[in-house]
Every structure is written in structure tokens, then in C-alpha cells.
Amino acid sequence: MSVGDVSKRILLGRKLRSSQLGETLLPKRIALPVFASDALSSVAYAPDEVFIMLSLAGASAYVWSWKVALAVAVVMAAVIASYRQTVHAYPSGGGDYEVAKVNLGVTAGTTVASALLVDYVLTVAVSISAGAQYAASAVPALSGHEASFAAALVVLLMAMNLRGIRESGAFFAVPTYAFMVAMAAMVGWGAWQWWSGDLRPAESADITITPATGFEEPLTTIGLMFLLARAFSSGAAALTGVEAISNGVPAFRRPKSRNAATTLALLGAIAIAMMISVIVLAREIGVRLVDPDEFDRLSRGGGPVPADYDQHTVISQIAESVFTGFPPGFYLTVTVTGVILVLAANTAFNGFPVLGSILAQDGLAPRALGSRGDRLAYSNGIVFLAAMAIALIWIFDAEPTRLIQLYIVGVFVSFNLSQLGMIRHWTRELQGEHDPAVRGRMQRSRVINATGLSFTAVVLVIVLITKFLAGAWITILAMGTFYVLMRAIHGHYERVSDELAADEEDRVLPTRVHAIVLVSKLHKPTLRALAFAQASRPNTLEGVYVATDARATARLMEEWDERRMDVPLKVLHSPYRELVRPIVEYATEIRRANPRGVVAVYIPEYVVGRWWEQLLHNQTALRLKGRLLFTPGVMVTSVPYQLRSSQIAREREERDEFRVRPGDLRSGRVDPRGRRGRDR
């Protein structure tokens, strides 16, 4: 092992080489936590939203809470059943975008893509904001600073993802299973207390809620319907994240689709059970929640609540009353809930580049996003995602209630289009299929997707009606912007592609090659460039020197003679110390004299390793190359000469190549270091 290898190992850490990394294909018990954090974490804020919406009509409306929960559960079951079909039909991991594009065309595909891009931003904003609420309920000092704390969390996540964190199975499994256990313990213990009559009321149970303006009178049927619709559409936030598995099928162990479908069913069952039990238990202990901007509607013992009243989330309140006398239970539950919310946000950081890469392949995003190696493009995406999320957190003061108004639209737009696409898919498949058994299965799948679509379409309409003015318009505007941008990029690539389409005349060979080697001094890089140029046997070869100083010119010419260089040296005079223009003009001149020939310009370049060395070298070469590329009939050859310090940069580049990219795990990518390891 060389010294370089040792230093590399120290820098990268031994862990990256451990065998566990080779197993990137996920067994179900690991795939569940990897893809579940986003969907399960919604249980940490969706119930709150149901109670907050119902409280518009006062706490008496809480009687509807379990019915709303049931409605959400039914829709969720339909959606999960729908995605199980998708997972079978599209195992490539393209998810909603692929389904919409293939079956409904580019417009629908681009619409889904815009919705997903917006969703990623909102996933970060909502999850981190909810996480900050939980942190504040456990650490009172954070109360009132939720937005700053949330922004700091996003910056931390961004930094980790820029650095490249490896999503290992354990990374997800431990907190996700811990969350499930904590929730099960809390709900189970709560249920036992309820059965035995020991259940304590919530900390907010003695609070009276004054109905909001417009809800003072007993509700009319229509008024009630509308209230329930609002509560339902907020509760539908529980559905966010269930589509994650459909993007991750390639990461599953074989049989991929079946394992993915099973995991999806399991996920659905857990999420529904959690949501219903949390809502039922919350109602039982008398949790009281209102919009955090409307604390003036709260009163306690006849007087208003104190100015510094702190409203805790549903799960905190349940944990607080169930675990009375056992504080570790409370803290553990709140902590794992917070952690799983952060994990859900991290999901977006992983999904975003994967989507970007798929869009790049379809020409809807800059092509650089399409290849795994382009760290810069990935980093830009991550920074963009974080910046947008922080902006939203700031604007909406890290209040999940307000952010959710923006969130659900995007989610349901993609649910709808993807399910519509699936119906088309089955219809088309049925046309080519004659085996009655297969046809039966397809028809059943089509019915499932149609059911899913009818549910999600109703939800989308309800969401649009109830949320449009509350913030959904922002989402729709953002989606529109992304849509226009992607279409513009696509249009540009199409135009370029047309302009570049080959025809016959393009194959004409240049008649002759006139090579010029740029000479600044007679040192190793120049000699190497001359040797390489000679090896290419051009029709004409000459060294070209731009003379800015008489003495230096004389010295060079003398040395040229002394060394008996067998290549003529052309001196271009430039009294005003311009370097680029004389060369460009000379190349243009040669080309003009022989329009069917080609001018080959050889530029000796030193390759250095440190960033400040880059500033001190090759700036002129860079500029010259830039200018020469605009000159027709010229090709520019860089002949590198590696200085000793270049080793530093080389090692850095290699380290960088082996670094983890966000999204590697969920797209089932084999560890590249492992692969390289075999070669050695």
C-alpha cells in the first residue's frame, strides 16, 4: 500500500470499504424503513391539521374527527392499492413521471415533474417545520425560535448532502423502527389506560375554543360539509410520501416488483393504523388545537390563555398524558418523531437529484444532471432545494399548518395524472392481450387504478376549492414556472439537435493540417507539445511565439537555435502585450489561405494541483482556447504537462468520484469503490 493509499484511507475513512456497502439491493425489512420515513412521518402532522380545521366550529366539531380519519384512511388504501399496480407495471423506478409521460404524453409528464419538484421543496419545508415544533415541545427554550431552528436544520441537511452522506440501511432502520415501536407503545399503553379508566386528560383538555368568525351559529348542512371537506383535505397530508416506493423498485431484491408491492401494502397498513389510533386517542384525551395565529379564540377557566401559551402537537400531548409519571417515554416518543421528520426531509434531498437525472435524460433539465459524475450539477440542485425550503420556512414562520395548504395540491396532481396514466396503460395492454387469465388480472388492476383515480380526483377538487386562496395558488404558480422552464430547456435541446443533424457533406475530410505549437518558453511542456504535434505528422508544423518584449524574444530565438530545434519558429509581434488576438488572427489567416484545410493549435499546459496555483497558471491558455473555439476550421489541442503538485488534484478528483451522491441507495447503485476495488 503506497503512502498515497494510506493518506486516502485516512481521509475517506475505512468504513466506506466495509463489505456491507456492497449489498445495495435491499431486503424488505430494510426497504420498508428506507422508503417509509416520508409516508410515516406524515402521521406526525396530519392529525393536528384535522383537529385545527375542525376547531373552526369549536371543540364540539371534534366529534367528527374519527370519521374524517376514516375517510382519509379509505383514500390512502385506494392510493396504496393503485401504486401496487404501478410497481408491477413500471419496475424501472421512473414512478409517476414515467407513468404520466409514457401513457399521457410529454405535457402530462412535464406537469407531473413540475409537481414533484415543488413537492420536494415542500417535503423539506413541512417536515423540518413539524420537526421544529416537536423540538420546541421537548425543549421549551426553542419556543418562538422555530423558524430559525428549522432553517438551521435545513442548512445542516444541505451541508451533509453536499458532503455526501451514505444512506445505509441502519441509517433508516433504527429511527424508523424506533418510531414504530414508540408509537405502538404509546397507543397500546394509552388504549390500556382507556380500558382501565386511567386515561389522563390532555394538557389542553380544559381549554375552551370559541368558534371562528362565521362559525358562531350552529352549522348548516352545507357549512358542515365544507368544514369536513377542509378537515379532510388537510388530513390528506397523511398520504404524502406513499409514492416513494414506486421510484425505488430497482433498489429492491428480486423479485423486485413483488417485494416492492408487499412493502407498499405493509407501509399502508402501518400508516393507516397509526393515523386512526392517534386521532381516536387524541379525541379521547380531549386535545384542543387551533390555528397558531388564532390563540385569541382560546380561553381557560373563563379567562384568555396567557400570551406565551404554547400549543403542543397532537403526538406530544398524547405522549405527555399517556406517559405521565414516566418522562423517558415522553422524551423518547417526541425525539424519534422529530428524527423521523428530519429523515423525511432528507428523502427529498435524495429524491431530487434522482428526478433531475431522469429529467436530464429526457432533455427537460440541463444534461449535466444526467450523468452521475457531475458533482457540481448535483450540488447546485441541493443548494437550490435548501434555499427554496428555507425561504418557505421563513415566509410561513415554520408553521406546518400554513405550509400544508401549499403541499397537498402538488401531491395530488401527480397522484391523479399517474393514475390516469395507469388506466391508459392497462387499456392499451388489454388490446394486445388474449389470455383470459392475464386479461382478468389486467382488468382488475384497471379497476383498482380507476377507483384510486376517482378518490384522488375528488380529493384534488376538494383541495383546490378549500385551499386555493390559502396558499395552493403559490404551488400552482411554482409548478407553472417549473413547467415553462422545462419546456424551454427541452425546446432549446430540440433546436440544437435539429441544427446539428448530420447530412452527407459533413464527411468531407480536410485537405491538409497546418499545426502550430504555442511557445512561451523553451521548457518541458513546450518540448512535449512539439513532440506530440510532430508525432501527429501534420502537413506543416511551426512553433508560434508572441513577442511582447525584444530581449525575451532574442533570448528565446537564440535558445531555439542552440537546441537545434528542427521546427521553424514564427514570431508574432505584439507591442501592446496582447497574447490572444495575434494568435487568433494568425490562425484565421492560415485558414483563409487554405479554406479546406484545418489549423491545429497545440497549447502546452501545466497541470497544477492547488486552487491558488490554478489562479497563477493557464489563465491565458484558457482564454485563448475560449477564443479559438469561435474560429471556424480550427481545432485546439491541450498538451498537458503534469507538475508534481498535480498529484494533489488527481487524488482529490478520485476521492470525489468515489464519494456518495444523494440518491445512490434508493436507485440501487452499486458502490463504485467496491467495483473499482475488484479491478485491483
Nearer to its own copies, 223 or 674 (CB): 674
Nearest distance from residue 254's CB to its own copies, in Å?
A: 16
Scanning 598-659, the segments in alpha helix (DSSP H) are 611-616, 619-628, 646-657
Backbone phi, psi, residue 397, to 5°: 55, 35
Binding to its own copies in span 641-680, by CB under 8 A: 641-644, 646, 649-650, 653, 657, 669-670, 672
CA-based nearest residue to 574, from 600, 550, 593: 550
State in Å, rounded, how far the first CA of the chain is from the last one.
12
Instruction: Determine, following the binding rule CB under 8 A, whether residue 251 of this chain makes contact with its own copies.
Output: no
Instruction: Determine, following the binding rule CB under 8 A, whether residue 440 of this chain makes contact with its own copies.
Output: no
Binding to its own copies in span 457-516, by CB under 8 A: 489, 492-493, 496-497, 499-503, 506-513
Nearer to its own copies, 22 or 640 (CB): 640
Q: Spell out the residues 6+ positions from residue 377 whose beta carbon is closer than 8 angstroms to its own.
A: 356, 366, 368, 369
Distance, CA of 557 to CA of 450 (rounded, Å)? 83
Instruction: Determine, following the binding rule CB under 8 A, whether residue 540 of this chain makes contact with its own copies.
Output: no
Nearest distance from residue 420's CB to its own copies, in Å?
A: 26
Nearer to its own copies, 341 or 636 (CB): 636
Distance, CA of 353 to CA of 351 (rounded, Å)? 6
Instruction: Determine, following the binding rule CB under 8 A, whether residue 527 of this chain makes contact with its own copies.
Output: yes
Judged by CB under 8 A, which of 191, 212, 447, 580 binds its own copies?
580
Nearer to its own copies, 1 or 376 (CB): 376
Nearer to its own copies, 138 or 635 (CB): 635
Instruction: Determine, following the binding rule CB under 8 A, whether residue 563 of this chain makes contact with its own copies.
Output: yes
Nearest distance from residue 4's CB to its own copies, in Å?
A: 14
Judged by CB under 8 A, which of 376, 437, 469, 593 binds its own copies?
376
Full DSSP string of 549-584? -HHHHHHHHHHHHHTT-SS-EEEEE-TT---HHHHH
| 3-state secondary structure at position 298 | strand
Distance, CA of 136 to CA of 50 (rounded, Å)? 21
Distance, CA of 540 to CA of 86 (rounded, Å)? 63
Instruction: Determine, following the binding rule CB under 8 A, whether residue 379 of this chain makes contact with its own copies.
Output: no
Q: Spell out the residues 6+ positions from residue 227 whose beta carbon is closer than 8 angstroms to its own.
A: 53, 54, 56, 57, 61, 215, 219
Judged by CB under 8 A, which of 636, 662, 663, 666 binds its own copies?
636
Instruction: Determine, following the binding rule CB under 8 A, whether residue 374 of this chain makes contact with its own copies.
Output: yes
Nearest distance from residue 478's CB to its own copies, in Å?
A: 20
The site map against its own copies for 302-341 (x = CB under 8 A) is ----------------------------------------
Nearest distance from residue 368's CB to its own copies, in Å?
A: 4
Nearer to its own copies, 253 or 581 (CB): 581
How many other CB atoms sit within 10 Å of the CB of residue 461?
A: 14
Binding to its own copies in span 191-230, by CB under 8 A: none
Binding to its own copies in span 341-360, by CB under 8 A: 357
Phi-psi region of 397 (alpha: psi -120 to 50; beta: other; left: phi over 0): left
Full DSSP string of 444-476? HHHHHHHHHHHHHHHHHHHHHHHHIIIIIHHHH
Nearest distance from residue 220's CB to its own copies, in Å?
A: 55
Nearest distance from residue 38's CB to its own copies, in Å?
A: 24
Nearest distance from residue 496's CB to its own copies, in Å?
A: 6
Nearer to its own copies, 477 or 629 (CB): 629
Distance, CA of 40 to CA of 337 (rounded, Å)? 10
Peptide bond into 255 cis (omega under 30): yes
Nearest distance from residue 563's CB to its own copies, in Å?
A: 8
The residues that bridge with 569 in the sheet, in sequence order, are 543
